Structure 1
Amino acid sequence: MIDFSKDTVFKLTPCKPKDIAPTVQPIIIPGEEIISSFKAVRDFVVFTNKRLIAVNVQGMTGKKKDFTSLPYNRIQAFSIETAGTFDLDAELDLWFSGLGNVRLEFRGSDIRAIGQLIATHTL
């Protein structure tokens, strides 16, 4: 499982959902759709209409993967921080019941759209 106790889990940039869909498709349930996806070097995060899926690619070959499913209905609060002129990273903080705080950092992403996605599924 991803170590969510670190200050930063990922530095994510947008990627095409079709590029990562084959990896997460086996755990997608009926009626669930991929809305957006973001990639780090090997790891990635997928936002669906039901949950956030964090995929941690492990090992030298990358064949071993850890899938962490974070359902929106377990989010108690969230915060977004937009990028600035000199600080180009945007941040999303999520507080999950039973898990605690999860922070994701984004580069080159519209964090407001991500915040609206989270709000749509939690409010």
Structure 2
Amino acid sequence: MGLFDALLGNAGEMDRDEAHEELSTILGNGEQIELAYKLIRDMIVLTNRRLILIDKQGMTGKKIEYRSIPYKSVTMFTVETTGHFDLDAELKIWVSGQSDPMELEFSGKTNVYAMQSLLAEKVAGK
């Protein structure tokens, strides 16, 4: 992920080993990270069991909110790829009990097809 993408607010792919090291304290037994994305300090992680949104807050980033969404709670999602003039990809996720979707933006270099494929498998089944 480049500095330009980070400044624009676009998440880029992250190394799974680095993500696993950072999240080892909150992962369950046998839970494996399948995809991870990073936006400056925040992270978006798809595991074999759930979607985790990590929001590091404050000046130091010591206060952290971990939003855990079981795949069974995802009612719908959309993936929008990049275009000629729109350089970022977008993911919208609707979660049961919420009327508005969560909106996440990714850099144009991010493989949104891999993310879409994994979400489809987890949400709709194999």
Q: TM-score by structure 1 length? A: 0.85
Structure 2: which amino acid aligns with 1:120?
A: E
Residue of structure 2 in register with 1:117 after alignment: 118
Structure 2 distance, partners of 1:84, 1:47, is 25
Runs of 4+ in 1 over 4 A off after TM superposition: none
Residue of structure 1 in register with 2:18 after alignment: 19
SS at match of 2:25: helix
Residue of structure 2 in register with 1:104 after alignment: 104
SS at match of 1:20: helix
Structure 2: which amino acid aligns with 1:30?
A: N
What is the CA-CA distance between 1:11 and the residue it aligns to? 2.2
1:91 aligned onto 2:97 = no
- Higher-RCO chain (CA-CA 8 Å, sequence separation at least 6): 1
Residue of structure 1 in register with 2:46 after alignment: 47
SS at match of 1:120: helix
What is the CA-CA distance between 1:39 and the residue it aligns to? 0.7
Computed over aligned residues only, the root mean square deviation of the Cα atoms, in angstroms, reads 1.3
Residue of structure 2 in register with 1:74 after alignment: 73
Give aligned pairs, total.
Answer: 114
Identity, % of aligned pairs?
38
Structure 2 distance, partners of 1:76, 1:62, is 31
Residue of structure 1 in register with 2:5 after alignment: none
Q: TM-score by structure 2 length? A: 0.83
Gaps of 5+ in 1: 1-9
Structure 1 distance, partners of 2:10, 2:50, is 19
CA deviations over 1:22-70 (Å, ceiling 9, x no partner): 2211111122110111111111111111111111111222222111101
Structure 1: which amino acid aligns with 2:106?
A: F
